Amino acid sequence: MTTPAAPTPERKAEPTPPATPRTPRSWLRDHSELGVGALLLALGVLVLNDALTMDVDITQRGPVGPKTVPVVVGVGLLVVAALLAVDVLRGGRGQAETGEDVDLGEPADWRTVLLLSGVFLGSAVLIEPLGFPVAGALLFWGAAYTLGSRRVDRDPLIAAVLSLAAYALFDKLLGVPLPGGPLMGVL
């Protein structure tokens, strides 16, 4: 035996909140990834412009000339910029990083940033008078020290080996002339 269910009172429809007007600023905030696309577009145009206006001697040209790689990179940047813009305009959103263990409530470590900037600028100033091997070793060792390594028995040696290896790779193997400084005759 079933009993008839008691009539339920009719629910009144809750009023919908008034729609907030969309401003250009809020639209841009929702589509902020378009800024990355614009940066990639600008870089692509810059790379293509430089590549296509490059003055190349016809006698140095082989089947693949010096313009090939910059043109490929420039076209690749333009394609990625276009694909990113289409994805963002279709509603795609970048995923928030979940793997970082960063407390956003903590202030930035400006001491480390300033020390790294000083090490980098110092090596840029010293590269001409001291040469790349010495300035590069100071750069590698200074960066390691600034980032927390305090192994003074090991770090300068590793920095010197890395700097000499980079010098040999670029200057000797790739043919990119780097200033040798006082070590020019030795290396």
Unique residue bearing structure tokens 């202030």: 107
pLDDT tens figures, 120-152 = 999 999 999 999 999 999 999 999 999 999 998
User: What's the angle, vertex CA 23, arms to CA 21 and CA 24, rounded to 5?
Assistant: 155
pLDDT tens figures, 4-35 = 666 665 655 565 555 555 677 776 667 778 88
**DSSP string over 60-76:** G--SS-TTHHHHHHHHH
Q: Residues 54-67: what's their mean pLDDT?
A: 70
Contact 140, 167 (CB under 8 A): no
Counting Cα atoms < 13 Å in the Cβ hemisphere of 183 gives 20
pTM over 0.85: no
Question: What local confidence, expressed as pLDDT, does residue 19 receive?
Answer: 56
Please state, in angstroms and rounded to a whole number, the distance separating the CA atoms of residues 72 and 75: 5
pLDDT tens figures, 73-110 = 999 999 999 999 999 888 877 676 666 666 767 888 89
Unique residue bearing structure tokens 């010098």: 167
Please state, in angstroms and rounded to a whole number, the distance separating the CA atoms of residues 28 and 30: 5
pLDDT tens figures, 149-170 = 999 899 999 999 999 999 989 8
Q: What six digits make up the tokens of 121? A: 């600028």
Pick the closest to residue 127 from 169, 183, 175, 185 (CA basis). 183
